[in-house]
Amino acid sequence: MGPAKNSDDGPPAASGPGGPPPAGPEPPAGTGAEAAPLLRMRGIAKRFPGVRALDGVDLDVRPGEVHCLLGQNGAGKSTLIKVLAGAHRPDAGEILLGGEPFAPSDPTAAMRAGIATIYQELDLVDGLSVADNIFLGHEHARLGFTRRADAERAARALLTRLGHGEIPPRREVGRLPAAGRQVVSMARALSHDARLIVMDEPSAALAHDEVSNLFRIIRELTAEGVAVVYISHRLEEIREIGDRVTVLKDGRAVAGGLPARTTPTSRVVSLMTGRDVAYVFPERPGPDAGSGDRPEVLRVEGLTLAGSFEDVSFSVRAGEIVGLAGLVGSGRSEILETVYGTRRPTRGRVLLDGRPVRPGDTGAAVRRGMGMAPEERKSQALLLHESVARNVTLSGLGRYSSLGWLNRRRELADVRSQIAALDIRPGDPARPVATLSGGNQQKVVLARWLVGAAAGRGTARPDGSPGGLRLLVLDEPTRGVDVGARAELYAVIRDLADQGVAVLLVSSEVPEVLGLADRVLVVREGRIIHSGAGRDLDERSVLNMIMEGRAL
C-alpha cells in the first residue's frame, strides 16, 4: 500500500539520514553572540515506579525565544515541564533561572519566580467563574481585588487582549467549550506577568483562526522578552512560531536547540522516533467505495439542536469514513454528540442500520453498535485510576464477563494485541491509565472500540442486525498523538473501515480530514454547507468555506 498523500512540509523523508540518529545531543544552533539563557536545566532526572521518565535532560531557553520541545508520546516532555513548574521534584540535576539556582518546592513557588504553565489537560476549576479561575491563588486576589467588579474588569481586559472579549468573566468555566477554557488558561498565565510561559500543546483544542490568534499573542510576549517553551506535535506550527527545537527521546535530549525553521522535517522525525517515518495517510479505496451496494449504516435526518446546529442530514455507509470540517463552535462536535446520544436533539432523528436510535441515550447507542472517542478523553472517556486493561474492555462490546475465567484470558489477549497494534507505551495492561502520557491515553480510548469491533464481527444482534461495532464516532482522534503514532492511527482507522465499520470523525486539522475521509462535510454556523469527496478538496478552499462560507 503506497502513501496517498504526504503532508510533510520539509524535504521528503527519503532525503533524511538512512541510519539511526547519533546517540549524544547535537550542538546548539548558531554560534557566538546569543543572549545568555534565561533558563538552564542540567542533567534533570526523574523516575516513576518502573519508568525512567527523564534520564539527564539539558535544556537552555533564551529570553524572548520560542523554544519548542518535541518528542514521541511518553518521551518525557510533560514530566520535564512539571519539574520546571514545581509539580515534580527531580531526582537529580540543577536548574538556573536568570543565573540563579532554582528549585521550586511547589507550583506556587514557580509562579512567584515568573514561570507560568498552561497544561495539556487544563487545570481549571469547573465550578468557579472565569474571573475566579484567572486569579486563583493570585496575590492580587487577596490584596487588590476586594471587589468582585475589579476582578471581573481585570479578567475582561486580559480576555480582550487574547482576542476573546466576548467570554463573560462571570460564566462558570465548566460551561465553556474547549477553546474557551484554553483562553481562560492563557489569561491566567498572562495575569502573572511571567518571564517564562510554558505551553503544553496549547493549540490542541483550538481551531485554525484561534491558532493564529495564539501565535499573535506569543509574538507579542516574546517581543517583550518573555520566553516561551512550546510543546506541540504539529510540526508545521513549530516551523511557524518556533525559534529553536529540543528533541526528547526516551527521557533524553537527543538534540538541543536545533533551528526550528530550517531543520528538515525528516531529520526531526528521525531524531524523535529513531527511524524514518512517512507522515502519510493510508491509501483510500476507489472512488466508488462507500457508495453503491454498501449498506447505509448511519442516517441522520433533519437533526437539530437548538442553538447549536440546524437541519443536518447525511448518511455514512459501511466502510466509509466521513469527516466533518468546521471551526470550534460551528456545531461539529455537537453533531457527533447528538448522533451518539450524549445530547438530545430538538428535532430530527438518527437511524442505525435502518432503525431509529433512541434520542439522548448513549447506552442504547452502544447496544446498537455505536462507539465514540470523545474530545475530552480525561473527563469523558477514561477511568483514570483503573488499569489499561479495564479501560480497554469497558465498552462491554467484547462481552468477556459471561463465560468465566477462560474469558479473562481472552480479554487479556485482546488487550495485549491492541497494545501491540497501537504501540501503547508502557505496554503493561495492569498500569493505571493516569500514569500514561496524553497521547498514549488517547490510544487506550481507541483500543476500546477496536476490541469491540473485533469481538462482534460476523455475529448478529438479537434483532437480526449485524453484531459488533457498526459506527465509530471520533472527535479529534489524533489530539496529542505524536507524528509517528499518527500514521499508525490513520492506518488503524482505515483498517476498521475496510472491515465494514462506518466512521464519522471531526478534526481541527483540515489536512487530516482531507487525507483520511472519503467524504467531507463542511460545517459552518450549525449547517452543512458543502459535501464532497476528500480527494477532490484542497486545504485552502475548505478553510475558505469554513471561515467565509464559500469556496475560493
Ligand X SMILES: Nc1ncnc2c1ncn2[C@@H]1O[C@H](COP(=O)(O)OP(=O)(O)OP(=O)(O)O)[C@@H](O)[C@H]1O
Of residues 200 and 320, the one with the C-beta less far from ligand X: 200
Beta bridge partners of residue 299, listed in sequence order: 315, 351
The answer to whether residue 438 forms part of the interface with ligand X (CB under 6 A) is yes
Helix, strand or coil, per DSSP, at residue 81: helix
Given candidates 38, 57, 61, 79, which one binds ligand X under the rule CB under 6 A? 79
Beta bridge partners of 352: 298, 355
429 binds ligand X (CB under 6 A): no
Among 37, 71, 242, 477, binds ligand X (CB under 6 A): 71
CB 299 within 8 A of CB 317: no
**Nearer of residues 52 and 294 to ligand X, judged by Cβ:** 52
Candidate segments 76-84, 141-149, 151-159, 277-285, binder of ligand X by CB under 6 A: 76-84
For residue 91, the minimal CB distance to ligand X (Å) is: 13
Q: How many CB atoms lie within 10 A of CB 250?
A: 16
Smallest distance, ligand X to C-beta of residue 51, A: 5
Site membership for ligand X, residue 74 (CB under 6 A): yes
**List 7, 418, 435, 478, residue binding ligand X (CB under 6 A):** 435
CA angle 133, 138, 143 (to 5 degrees): 125
In this structure, the strands spanning 115-118 and 370-373 are unpaired
Say whether residue 303 binds ligand X (CB under 6 A): no
Which of 7, 265, 437, 507 touches ligand X by CB under 6 A?
A: 437
* The one among 38, 41, 78, 371 contacting ligand X by CB under 6 A: 78
Helices 405-422 and 483-498, axial angle in degrees (round to 10): 120
Binding residue (CB under 6 A) for ligand X from 7, 73, 133, 391: 73
Compute the least distance from the CB of residue 206 to ligand X, in Å: 17
87 binds ligand X, rule: CB under 6 A: no
Q: Closest approach of Cβ 478 to ligand X, in Å?
A: 12
CB atoms within 10 A of CB 226: 23
* Distance, CA of 165 to CA of 182 (rounded, Å): 14
Residue 77 touching ligand X (CB under 6 A): yes
Asked if 84 interacts with ligand X (CB under 6 A), we say no
Question: Residue 180 or residue 438: which is nearer to ligand X going by CB?
Answer: 438
**Binding segment for ligand X among 70-78, 96-104, 415-423, 536-544 (CB under 6 A)?**
70-78
Chain residues 34-63 in contact with ligand X, contact rule CB under 6 A? 48, 51, 53
- Indicate the residue type of 177: P
* Cis bond upstream, residue 426 (ω within 30): yes
Residue 504 belongs to what H/E stretch? Answer: strand 502-506
Rounded distance, CA 499 to CA 495, Å?
A: 6
Sign of CA dihedral 392, 366, 503, 372: negative
| 395 closest CA partner among 379, 413, 374, 371 | 371
Taking the complex as a whole, the smallest distance from the CB of residue 425 to ligand X amounts, in Å, to 6
Least distance to ligand X, CB of residue 386, Å: 15
Residue 157 CB neighbours (<10 A): 15
Do 171 and 152 form a contact (C-beta atoms < 8 A)? no
With a CB cutoff of 8 Å and minimum separation 6, the contacts of 527 are: 309, 310, 311, 312, 331
Residue 90 in contact with ligand X, rule: CB under 6 A: no
CA nearest to 204, candidates 475, 501, 514: 475
Closest distance between ligand X and the C-beta of residue 471, in Å? Answer: 27
- Least separation in angstroms between residue 211's CB and ligand X is 18
- Exactly one of 439, 466, 468, 477 binds ligand X (CB under 6 A); which one? 439
- Going by C-alpha positions, the residue among 444, 430, 360 that lies closest to residue 394 is 444
* Binding residue count for ligand X, defined by CB under 6 A: 20
- What is the smallest separation between the CB atom of 37 and ligand X, expressed in angstroms? 22
Q: Which of 322, 487 has the CB closer to ligand X?
A: 487
Q: Which residues bind ligand X (CB under 6 A)?
A: 48, 51, 53, 71, 73-79, 426, 435-440, 480, 482
